[in-house]
Structures are given as C-alpha cells and as structure tokens.
C-alpha cells in the first residue's frame, strides 16, 4: 500500500476520534481502520502504538476500564504520537481542526527559535547534546513550577503504592502526573524529559491495566525517574538565564531509558544471582563484553580486582566502578530482604517483651539468687545481654523514618500560602529520625493543625513583615530529634508570636479564668488548647474557629506524649512535641505508695525532692502547698486518691515528684522511689480503662504488677476536688 494511503488511514482514524465515538459501532470502525493500517509498511514503533490503541479500545468495549476519561486522553495522545511518527509534525487533536484537511496544522512552541547539536567530552565518554535557543523563558518557568508539583505528588503517592501495590487509584495517581509532564515537555521540545516520562508512563500503564503487578523493581524505576527528572529540571532552571538550554543528550538519561526498555516487569522481583562488576559495567555500555572477558583473565592472573584492572587500563573511570560497586551492594541487600506481615511483627515484639519479663522473674527468684556457682553467673550475664539485644532489635523493627510525614507538609504550606496571600517557606531537618510506625499516622493531623495556625495566626503579611524589618517571606522550621527514650518534634515560625494579654482577655470573656487570677506567661499560652478557644478576630477557610488545638493536645496525650509552647512577641512561636519512641515500652520511675508500686512516665517528670518542714504550707482556698525554690506548688497525696495507708503522712518525711500539666507544676506525694526502669505496657482491658489516674499496667521483674499513672488524669481529678 502507498504512503499516501497510509496517511489517509491516519487522517480517518484521527477524524473519527475527534468527532467523538459514542457507540460500539464507531469503535468497531476505528478497530477496522487500525487493522488496515497494520497491513501498510509501518515501523516497529508504529506497530507498538497501534497495538496499544487496539487494547485500550477493547477494554472500553468490554467496560473493564477503571478510568474511561484517562483512557480517552491516552487514545488522543497515542494517535498524536502515531501521526508525529508518520509525518514528522505535531498534529492538533482538540476538535478545532480537521486532520483530513489539506492544510496540516503543526504546533511549534513559540519559545523555540533554533536548535544545534554539540559534543561534550566528559569522564563518562562523548555526549551529543541538542541545544535550543529560548525566546520566552516565562513559559519554561511555568513548566518548572508545575513539573515540580507533579513530582512532589508522585513522591507522596509512591509511598502509598509501596504499602498497597494493588491499589489502582494510587497507581492512577502516580500515572497522571507523569502523563502531564510528558505532554508539556513534548510541546516545549524537551526531549529527554519527554522520553523519560513517556517510558515510565508506559510501564505504569501496564501495571494499572493488570498486565503485571507493581513490584519493587517497578517502584525503583519510578523513583529513579523522579531523581533524574529533578536533575533535568535543575539543569533547565540554571540554563534558562543563558538563553540556551539542553533538550537532549544526557548520558544518564540514555542509560536509564535503555534500562527501562529492557526491564521485564513480569520477572521475579529479586535476582537469583548477584551480577559481577564487569557485567554491570557492560550492561551500562561503559565497557564492551569482549574486553571484560580479557580483563577478567588478566586480573585473575595478576591477583587483582577487576575494578582496579579496568581503571588501570583506562577502560572505566573510577566513578563508573564506584557506582557499579554501589549498585552491586544494593542488589545484595535487596536479595536478603523480605516482606513481613505487620501483625506477625507486632506479635514478635510482644513475645520478646514477655521473654524479657519472664527472664527478669526467673533471675529475681530467691532460689535462683542463692546460686553462687561462677559459670552460672557468667551464663546469667550472657542471657541478659542476649535478651537486651533482642529487645532492642525487635523495637527497632517497628521504627520508620518520619520523613514521609514531613514531606507531606511541603504541599500543605504551598497551598496555605496561596490561600492566605502570604509568602511562606518550609525548612526541615532531622527527617531521618525514626518513630514507631503505629504513631506515624496519628501525628499527621496534629502537625497539620499546628502548621495551619503558624501560617494563618503566626506569619504576618509581606507588607507587615517589611515594616517590621523582617524579610517579606515567613519561615516555618520543622525538625525532629531523638532525646533519650523520646522523639521530640519542633514546629517553629518567625512570625508575630503569641499575645499573652489577648489570650488572657479572651479567657476571661469565656469564663476560663477570673480577671484577678495570677498566671505565668507559659500557663496563659496553655489556654489555647481549650476547645473552641481562638484569638482570631475573623474566621478564614484556614483557621479561626478554635477547632484543632484541643484535638492536637488530646492526640499527643493519647500517644503518652506532651506538648509545650514557647513564644516571644514579634519573634515567633515554638511548639515542642515530646513523644515516646515506641508505644510498646515506656520509660518510667517506679515509686512506692503504701504497700503498692506504681510507674510514673519519665516524660511527665521534672524532678524529685524531699522538702524541708518549713517548705510545707497551707493556703486558704488552695489547700496544701509546697514551696519549691520560691514557687508554690499544689500537693497531691496519691494515697488519698488510691485509698491506701501510706508509710509517711508528712511530706518532709516522704518524697515529692514534681510534674507539669497545663502549664502548672504539681507535687505528687510518694513514700519511696524504687528506681528507673523500662517496662512493657499492658492494657487493662475495656472494663478497667476508665479508672481515674491509671493508664495501664506493667509486670515487674519480681512478677508483681505495677500500675502506670496517668498524670493528666490525676491532676484533673485533683482540680475538680478543689472546686
């Protein structure tokens, strides 16, 4: 069949699609045209495009499509590519032009005025680059902003995809941004970016159509593509001011495309054999396979490593060998990793906790402690070391980096900035800090609420900031670090800070405090955690209804954590979230009250002390008080709360534990401090979970049970009793 007949078929197919197909007969006609087109002399690339079109149409006919709108977008894109491949022109498929008309419509990006090919010599070899002059850089800057947003979206969704590889909604959420990047990159003639997006899109299309599952290999390719695209976008941004940009020719892109096109997604996820360094270099096209065989023989004969020999012969750069070694190491690590059901992991952690308790009970048995035999004592030390290491490793298995949660805040701040008309940037640090995976999802909402408030309440408008001598853009600092047995998350802004007097005024209006009540500034700040409390004069779609901060505090306390506020007027506000590293184990101080033992979480403790007799005072209307370095603190007698007979009634004969709650300090009266210990938390069950002042239980080394104190519940019960 002649070339003109082939072009005529393409015109008829494109015209049919533009006109709109709303019945099976119309789709059948297009399928017949595709069959005729295949009988022409068409290239392998065109055969591939025709096959994809036929498969999509068949899926639509059988009503198996999960995303019909997306499929029609892909049909238009495939036909556009097919026409481009045949005539070398970009054909408009928007319904405004008729493809079969004599005057073909081609779309040339107005920003492009000329192209040229240059040779760039680098360590990795000769690199042919296509340069393009730019007249309208603003067009490319818009693309940069949009593409980076799409890549951020992909990064967030790829985490969900790894957790649930079969979720088609998530696959589509990853597929669509690549499709958008590809379309605009093609229009702007950014060939490397277009080809990367196109190949990854093809791979994801196969996954979403069910041709193969989303494996680690597929996810790795998507992540590699993100890294390379980010690199391409940065290069484009740097080159734009020069007036000429590189559109094609990156050796890294070339190697990546080669890898993707040769990738078999139906193959097993993990390779059975680890490839040798020479094989990796040959696959990347750095060294010829024949040369590798020669070098291997020489290396064996001389007792050298193949990498050393390749560098010595000048066949590979040190960087190439280093990258190959890194890839080989990564493959070795991948082969030794497996996926484990999270329920099994939780059961393992619980059983190791039981093992530690059982070991402690055995070792504290009086009969066992009578044994003085030397070898037995050595074995005991070894047993303690092994169980301690087991507990440490099992706990670390539940830990995941907080990075994924932090990254979600980037998009949130961008959206909030646009809504509020403020310029806000986010600075993050400590993203690799690990936290119990059961806590990750629960801290997301508190972080969202606090960042919303920081943007809406804290950060001033650009005009106001300039008047105050600040930069026009505000900054929010989000960081995390591990301190002892806790993870501490900091959310700080450089905005206007909290207004203590305004908070006091609002609290008086709402009846939370009396006008003559004396409060320290820190205690006033704590009032913002009351439900419905807001100092905002007007409600916005971002914040101002007083809903959120009470939820933040409740969520943090449910996780057995604490939240503290520090603020300076005109300089900004700092929220400090202290959370336990894990939900399974708690670091606590074991105390004795009467004949019973209790565990006080160290996260709630500030200090312990034995007061002097003169420090004990009674204040009318406020009950018993203890003077701690000039500050009066209410005394809470734990033996009264739990109805026990104490060993000591007088505070100067007993011990006091200073705790902080709602910005105020209290002293808990205990008879004795036994010591500090990490204990495995045990739930009390639904029947006992509402006991005031108790949050759980723990089995101590001697087999006895100690109840874990809920400091907030104790303080709340005390305050109610005082009213």
pLDDT tens, residue by residue, 552-569:
888 888 888 888 888 988
pLDDT of residue 20: 55
Q: How are beta strands 694-699 and 705-709 bridged, if at all?
A: antiparallel
Choose between 292 and 673: higher pLDDT: 673
Residue 616 φ then ψ, to 5°: -85, 125
Residue with the two structure tokens 């306390």: 557
Q: How are beta strands 623-628 and 616-619 bridged, if at all?
A: antiparallel
User: For 691-720, how does the pLDDT look when each residue is reduced to its tens digit (9 = 90+)?
Assistant: 888 888 888 867 788 898 988 889 888 887
- Residue 200 reports pLDDT greater than 80: yes
- Gap between the Cα atoms of 373 and 381, Å rounded: 13
Strand partners, 667: 635, 658
User: For 341-362, how does the pLDDT look when each residue is reduced to its tens digit (9 = 90+)?
Assistant: 777 877 888 788 788 878 888 8
- Residue 634 reports pLDDT greater than 80: yes
pLDDT of residue 445: 86
Nearest to 273 by CA among 337, 340, 328, 218: 328
Report the interhelical angle of 306-313 vs 318-335 (nearest 10°).
Answer: 160
Choose between 519 and 403: higher pLDDT: 403
CATH architecture of the domain formed by 342-397: Orthogonal Bundle (1.10)
Averaged confidence pLDDT in the chain: 78
CATH superfamily of domain region 585-722:
CheA-289, Domain 4 (2.40.50.180)
Across residues 75-80, what is the average pLDDT?
76
Residue 517 φ then ψ, to 5°: -65, 135
Give the angle subtended at the CA of 38 by the CAs of 35 and 41, to the nearest 5°. 150
| DSSP codes of every residue in 573-619 | EEEEEEEES-SSEEEEEEEEETTEEEEEEGGGEEEEE---GGGEEEE
User: Fold for domain 400-580?
Assistant: Heat Shock Protein 90 (3.30.565)
Nearest to 482 by CA among 402, 406, 555, 410: 402
- Residue 684 reports pLDDT greater than 80: no
Residue 677 φ then ψ, to 5°: -160, 145
Residue 410 in 3-state DSSP?
Answer: helix
**Contact of 445 with 484, CB cutoff 8 Å:** no
pLDDT of residue 288: 74
Give the angle subtended at the CA of 142 by the CAs of 139 and 143, to the nearest 5°. 90
- Gap between the Cα atoms of 191 and 188, Å rounded: 8
DSSP letter (8 states) at residue 269: S
Nearest to 246 by CA among 87, 71, 120: 120
pTM of the predicted model over 0.85 = no
| Residue 70 CB-density burial (10 A; 0-12 exposed, 13-18 middle, 19+ buried) | middle
% of the chain surpassing 90 pLDDT? 11
**Contact of 578 with 480, CB cutoff 8 Å:** no
Written out in words, the top-level CATH class of the domain with range 112-262 is mainly alpha
**Element of type H or E holding 721:** helix 711-722
Residue 561 in 3-state DSSP?
Answer: coil
Choose between 337 and 125: higher pLDDT: 337
pLDDT of residue 90: 35
User: For 316-330, how does the pLDDT look when each residue is reduced to its tens digit (9 = 90+)?
Assistant: 777 777 777 776 666
pLDDT of residue 638: 92
Q: How confident is the model at residue 492 (pLDDT cuts 50, 70, 90)?
A: very high
Across residues 160-176, what is the average pLDDT?
81
- Gap between the Cα atoms of 573 and 556, Å rounded: 18
- Gap between the Cα atoms of 542 and 538, Å rounded: 11
Strand partners, 589: 600, 676
- Gap between the Cα atoms of 526 and 507, Å rounded: 11
pLDDT of residue 220: 82
% of the chain surpassing 70 pLDDT? 80
What number of residues does the chain have? Answer: 723
pLDDT of residue 121: 42
Residue with the two structure tokens 């801290």: 443
Q: How confident is the model at residue 66 (pLDDT cuts 50, 70, 90)?
A: low
Strand partners, 268: none
């Amino acid at each position: 069949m002649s070339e003109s007949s082939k072009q005529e078929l393409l015109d008829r197919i494109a015209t049919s699609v533009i006109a709109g197909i709303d019945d099976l007969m119309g789709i059948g006609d297009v399928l017949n045209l595709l069959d005729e087109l295949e009988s022409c002399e068409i290239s392998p690339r065109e055969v591939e495009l025709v096959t994809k079109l036929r498969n999509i149409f068949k899926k639509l006919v059988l009503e198996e499509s999960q995303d019909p709108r997306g499929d029609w977008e892909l049909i238009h894109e495939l036909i556009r590519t097919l026409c481009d491949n045949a005539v070398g022109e970009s054909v408009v498929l928007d319904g405004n032009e008729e493809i079969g008309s004599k005057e073909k419509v081609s779309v040339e990006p107005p920003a492009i005025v000329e192209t040229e090919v240059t040779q760039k010599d680098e360590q990795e070899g000769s690199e042919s680059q296509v340069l393009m002059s730019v007249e309208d850089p603003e067009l490319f800057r818009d693309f940069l902003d949009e593409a980076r947003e799409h890549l951020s979206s992909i990064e967030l969704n790829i985490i969900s995809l790894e957790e649930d590889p079969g979720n088609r909604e998530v696959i589509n959420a990853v597929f669509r941004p690549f499709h958008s990047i590809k379309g605009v990159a093609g229009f702007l003639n950014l060939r490397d970016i277009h080809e990367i997006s196109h190949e990854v899109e093809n791979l994801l299309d196969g996954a979403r159509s069910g041709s193969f599952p989303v494996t680690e290999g597929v996810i790795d390719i998507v992540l590699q593509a993100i890294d390379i695209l980010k690199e391409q976008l940065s290069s484009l941004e740097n080159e734009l001011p020069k007036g000429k940009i590189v559109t094609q020719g990156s050796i890294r892109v070339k190697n990546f495309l080669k890898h993707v096109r040769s990738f078999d997604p139906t193959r097993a996820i993990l390779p059975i054999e680890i490839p040798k360094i020479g094989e990796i270099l040959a696959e990347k096209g750095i060294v010829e396979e024949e040369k590798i065989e020669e070098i291997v023989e020489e290396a064996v004969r001389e007792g050298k490593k193949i990498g050393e020999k390749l560098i010595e012969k000048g066949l590979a750069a040190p960087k190439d060998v280093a990258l190959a070694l890194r890839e080989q190491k990564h493959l070795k690590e991948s082969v030794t990793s497996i996926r484990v059901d999270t329920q099994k992991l939780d059961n393992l952690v619980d059983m190791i906790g039981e093992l530690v308790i059982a070991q402690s009970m055995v070792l504290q048995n009086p009969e066992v402690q009578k044994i003085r035999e030397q070898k037995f004592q050595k074995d005991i030390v070894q047993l303690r070391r092994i169980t301690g290491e087991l507990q440490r490793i099992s706990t670390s298995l539940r830990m995941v980096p907080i990075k994924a949660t932090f990254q979600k805040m980037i998009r949130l701040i961008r959206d909030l900035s646009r809504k509020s008309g403020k310029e806000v940037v986010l600075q993050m640090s400590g993203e690799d800090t690990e936290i119990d995976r059961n806590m990750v999802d629960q801290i997301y909402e508190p972080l969202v609420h606090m960042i919303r408030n920081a943007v809406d309440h804290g950060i001033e408008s650009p005009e106001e900031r300039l008047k105050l001598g600040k930069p026009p853009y505000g900054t929010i600092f989000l960081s995390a670090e591990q301190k002892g047995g806790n993870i501490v998350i900091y959310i700080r802004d450089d905005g206007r800070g909290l207004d203590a007097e305004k908070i006091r005024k609002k609290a008086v209006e709402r009846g939370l405090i009396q006008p003559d009540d004396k409060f320290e500034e820190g205690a006033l700040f704590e009032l913002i955690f009351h439900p419905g409390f807001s100092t905002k004069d007007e409600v916005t779609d971002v914040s101002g209804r007083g809903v959120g901060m009470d939820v933040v505090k409740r969520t943090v306390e449910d996780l057995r954590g604490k939240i503290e506020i520090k603020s300076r007027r005109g300089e900004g506000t700092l929220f400090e979230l202290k959370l336990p590293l894990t939900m399974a184990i708690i670091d606590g101080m074991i105390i004795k009250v009467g004949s019973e033992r209790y565990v006080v979480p160290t996260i709630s403790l500030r200090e312990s002390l034995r007061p002097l007799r003169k420090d004990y005072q009674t204040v009318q209307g406020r009950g018993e008080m203890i003077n701690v370095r000039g500050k009066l603190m209410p005394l809470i007698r734990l033996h009264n709360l739990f109805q026990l007979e104490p060993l000591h009634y007088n505070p100067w004969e007993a011990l006091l534990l200073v705790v902080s709650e709602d910005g105020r300090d209290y002293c808990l009266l205990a008879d004795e401090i036994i010591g500090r210990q990490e204990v495995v938390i045990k739930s009390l069950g639904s029947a006992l979970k509402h006991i005031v002042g108790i949050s759980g239980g723990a089995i101590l080394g001697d087999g006895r049970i100690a109840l874990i104190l809920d400091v907030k519940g104790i303080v709340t019960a005390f305050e109610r009793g005082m009213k």
